[in-house]
Structure 1
Amino acid sequence: MDKRIVVVTGAFGSLGRAVVGRALEQGALVAQVDVSEARLGEQHADEARTLVLGGVDLADAEAARAAFARVDSHFGGLDALLNIAGGFAWQTVANGDLATWDRMFALNLRTAVSASMAALPFLEKSASGAIVNVGALGAVKAGVGMGAYAASKAGIAKLTESLAEEFKGKVTVNAVLPSIIDTPANRADMPGADFGKWVRPEDLAEAILFLASKKSRAITGALLPVTGGV
Structure 2
Amino acid sequence: MHGKVILVTGASGALGKVVAEAALARGARVAGVDHAKSQIADTPDRMELGGVDLSDAAQARQAIDAVAARFGRFDVLINIAGAFSFETIAEGDPKTWERLYAINVLTALNAARAAIPHLVASSAGRIVNIGAIGALQAGNGMGPYAASKAGVHRLTEALAAELKGKVTVNAVLPSTIDTPANRAAMPKADFAKWVTAEELANVILFLAGDEASAVTGALLPVSGRV
For this structure pair, what is the TM-score category when the shorter chain's length is used for normalisation?
over 0.9
2:164 matched to 1:175? no
AA in 2 matched with 1:199: V
Counterpart-to-counterpart distance in 2, 1:131 and 1:77 = 15
How many residues end up aligned between the 2 structures?
226
The equivalent of 2:194 in structure 1 is 198
Counterpart-to-counterpart distance in 1, 2:58 and 2:42 = 26
Counterpart-to-counterpart distance in 1, 2:155 and 2:140 = 24
Counterpart-to-counterpart distance in 2, 1:72 and 1:38 = 19
The alignment-based identity, stated in percent, is: 57
Matches within 5 A, 1:50-199: 50-199=46-195
Deviation, 1:142, is 1.2
Deviation, 1:124, is 0.6
Deviation, 1:194, is 0.2
Q: CA RMSD in A?
A: 0.6
The equivalent of 1:225 in structure 2 is 221
Matches within 5 A, 1:27-38: 27-38=27-38
AA in 2 matched with 1:203: E
Counterpart-to-counterpart distance in 1, 2:87 and 2:156 = 26
Deviation, 1:46, is 4.5
AA in 1 matched with 2:80: I
Counterpart-to-counterpart distance in 1, 2:43 and 2:28 = 13
Deviation, 1:68, is 0.9
Structure 2 unmatched ranges of 5 or more: none
Counterpart-to-counterpart distance in 2, 1:34 and 1:90 = 23
Say which SS state the counterpart of residue 7 (structure 1) adopts. Answer: strand
Say which SS state the counterpart of residue 124 (structure 1) adopts. Answer: helix
Deviation, 1:47, is 1.9
TM-score by length of 1: 0.97
The equivalent of 1:210 in structure 2 is 206
Whether contact under 8 Å (2:60, 2:111) holds in the other structure is yes
